[in-house]
Chain A
Amino acid sequence: MPSLPDMTTPNLTALAGQALADSGHVQVPAPDAGQDALVEWLQRMGDNGLILGHRLSEWCGHGPALEEDIAIANQALDLIGQCRLWLGLAAEVEGRGRDADAFAYLRDAGAFRNLLLVELPNGDFGVTLMRQFLFDAFHVELLRALKASSDSRIADIAAKAEKEVAYHLERSADLVIRLGDGTDESHRRMQDALNRLWSYTGEMFLDDAVDQAMADSGIAPLPSSLKDAWDRTVAAVLDEATLARPADGWHHKGGKKGIHTEHLGYILAEMQFLQRAYPGARW
């Protein structure tokens, strides 16, 4: 056992902690790799909801029909509500005094963990709907699996979100079918949207070390395990919509690790403006 340093040493507490840890009495919490992975994974969940909800909210007041304007706002509200739950849990697990708003408003783009797909610009309403369908079909499978999570907090959030997202999928799948099998123009727009977005779908099913850690502890499924069900849903809907599934090829990735498209920076510049311009103010 090392001798205790004298009283003038500035980092006395740390040294004392180190001494205790060395002696086998672990009282200073060591960084927990499992907790870090969980916080990372919760941010992925929260950021998908936040960024997609933000994109959908851009349509409010600009939708193609009043009924659709209202429906899309409902989806945005669901996703923002889910994001508050996921990021709130991330903050709780992290235990450093942050809250969901701190995650949303005070991280820079490199710290965001959402899929690239959800940050892509809205495009025409066809791109928005196709993006929604491709994501919903994945999201619903993920949430269904999460209802059996070994972490009951996660299972609870998933159970609430799954009901909402099942309805999102019902809507987006039906609209893709109708517009794919509508007029020549609506068919062309939906096929264009599908072609444009296809190379962003692969990222949803990539497994990395964080996913593996979550799967090992029974918290979450491996993303790759959701691919078959997604493929079946997508194949059935595209078939009925008379749309051609693009060939699989190069897939964009990086969002889950914080390497984003240029678009995310602009989303955040807008979203975080007040928190950045008036640091510490309460709203």
Chain B
Amino acid sequence: MSGEWPLWEIFIRGQHGLNHRHVGSLHAPDAEMAIRNARDVYTRRNEGVSIWVVRSNDITASSPSEKGPLYDPSNSKVYRHPTFYDIPDEIGHM
């Protein structure tokens, strides 16, 4: 048995009810695991998000011109945010 896990495109609708939005891709053996992996990789487990997954091979694309993705960082792990660290003003931008 060999073979790479297929690639999936991940679409997430956040808490604010906006449309699902493409956030990136990942590998998974099937759709159910793709959804779970997406929760871990792309939402860092924020509650209240809806996830769609589509096999990359199943997407029919026009000549693409999509805009860059936006995303919300997890709120539960404060140390992921730069403002968690007090850097003295003298140091300047970091």
Residues on A lying within 8 angstroms of B by beta carbon are: 65-67, 70-71, 74, 77, 163-164, 167, 170-171, 174, 178, 183
Q: How far is the CA of A171 from the CA of B36 in the complex (A)?
A: 8
Known contacts: A65-B5, A183-B1. The answer to whether A71 contacts B47 by CB under 8 A is: no
Q: How far is the CA of A197 from the CA of B37 in the complex (A)?
A: 27
Shortest CB-to-CB span from A172 to chain B, Å, is: 11
Known contacts: A67-B37, A171-B36. The answer to whether A74 contacts B44 by CB under 8 A is: yes
The answer, yes or no, to whether B31 is at the interface (CB within 8 Å) is no
Enumerate chain A residues within 8 angstroms of B29, measured Cβ to Cβ: 178
Enumerate chain A residues within 8 angstroms of B27, measured Cβ to Cβ: 65-67
Enumerate chain B residues within 8 angstroms of A71, measured Cβ to Cβ: 36-37, 40-41
Known contacts: A67-B27, A183-B1. The answer to whether A74 contacts B40 by CB under 8 A is: yes
| B26 engages A67 (CB within 8 Å) | yes
Closest 8 A-B residue pairs measured CB to CB?
A71-B40, A67-B37, A74-B40, A70-B40, A70-B41, A183-B1, A67-B26, A67-B41
Enumerate chain A residues within 8 angstroms of B36, measured Cβ to Cβ: 71, 170-171, 174
Residues on B lying within 8 angstroms of A by beta carbon are: 1, 5, 26-29, 32-33, 36-37, 39-41, 44-45, 47, 77
Task: Pick the contact of A67: B1, B40, B44, B45 (CB < 8 A).
Answer: B40
Enumerate chain B residues within 8 angstroms of A65, measured Cβ to Cβ: 5, 27
Chain A to chain B contacts (Cβ below 8 Å), 8 pairs: A67-B26, A67-B27, A67-B37, A67-B41, A70-B41, A174-B33, A174-B36, A178-B33
Shortest CB-to-CB span from B16 to chain A, Å, is: 21
| B77 engages A77 (CB within 8 Å) | yes
| A67 engages B28 (CB within 8 Å) | yes
Q: How far is the CA of A71 from the CA of B77 in the complex (A)?
A: 15
- Other than the known A71-B36, A74-B44, A174-B32, what 16 A-B pairs have Cβ atoms closer than 8 Å? A65-B5, A65-B27, A67-B27, A67-B40, A67-B41, A70-B40, A70-B41, A74-B45, A167-B39, A170-B36, A171-B36, A174-B33, A174-B36, A178-B29, A178-B33, A183-B1
Shortest CB-to-CB span from B49 to chain A, Å, is: 13
Q: How far is the CA of A163 from the CA of B28 in the complex (A)?
A: 24
Enumerate chain A residues within 8 angstroms of B33, measured Cβ to Cβ: 174, 178
Q: Which residue of A lies closest to B26 (CB)?
A: A67
Q: How far is the CA of A170 from the CA of B29 in the complex (A)?
A: 17
Enumerate chain B residues within 8 angstroms of A66, measured Cβ to Cβ: 27
Enumerate chain A residues within 8 angstroms of B47, measured Cβ to Cβ: 163
Q: How far is the CA of A163 from the CA of B45 in the complex (A)?
A: 10
Q: How far is the CA of A75 from the CA of B28 in the complex (A)?
A: 19
Q: How far is the CA of A170 from the CA of B28 in the complex (A)?
A: 16
